[in-house]
Amino acid sequence: AQTVTQSQPEMSVQEAETVTLSCTYDTSESDYYLFWYKQPPSRQMILVIRQEAYKQQNATENRFSVNFQKAAKSFSLKISDSQLGDAAMYFCAYRSLGATTGTASKLTFGTGTRLQVTL
């Protein structure tokens, strides 16, 4: 079974600075997807970024980028030019790509990192 580990329960960053959130995962599969979701105080889960394991290029979405190290099974999220609205819980998630039926369709989540943004 796949597992996802987020070892930083809380992080803090000053406005306009850069912060990196860590995520490691364990899997025996070669094809999969990885995601970062944001959960603000409203508790709505919002997709931030996704990475296909077969792609070597790291995904970027505006101020958000990832550092995907497949061999190390590491998937960190970098937030540049942090804004007050970035304050939230951030969850790393894994999805098997091998099949679209059965348990392969579920997302496996880490326990989250709470990000505080200070002035």
Partner 1 sequence: DGGITQSPKYLFRKEGQNVTLSCEQNLNHDAMYWYRQDPGQGLRLIYYSQIVNDFQKGDIAEGYSVSREKKESFPLTVTSAQKNPTAFYLCASSTYARYEQYFGPGTRLTVT
In whole angstroms, how large is the CA radius of gyration of the chain?
14
**Nearest distance, CB of residue 90 and partner 1, angstroms:** 11
* Closest to partner 1 by CB, 12 or 103: 103
* Closest to partner 1 by CB, 18 or 60: 60
By CB under 8 A, residue 18 contacts partner 1: no
* Closest to partner 1 by CB, 13 or 48: 48
**Nearest distance, CB of residue 61 and partner 1, angstroms:** 12
Residue 99 sits at the vertex; the CA angle it makes with 1 and 4, to the nearest 5 degrees, is 30
Q: Please tell me whether residue 16 adopts helix, strand or coil conformation.
A: coil
Q: Which residues of 66-103 are buried (b: 16+ CB within 10 A; e: fewer)?
A: bebeeeebebbbbbeebeeebbbbbbbbbbbeeeeeee
Identify the residue among 11, 33, 64, 73 touching partner 1 (CB under 8 A): 33
Other Cβ atoms closer than 10 A to 24: 17
Residues at the site binding partner 1, with contacts judged by CB under 8 A: 4, 33, 35, 37, 42-47, 50, 91, 93, 95, 97, 100-103, 105-107, 109-112
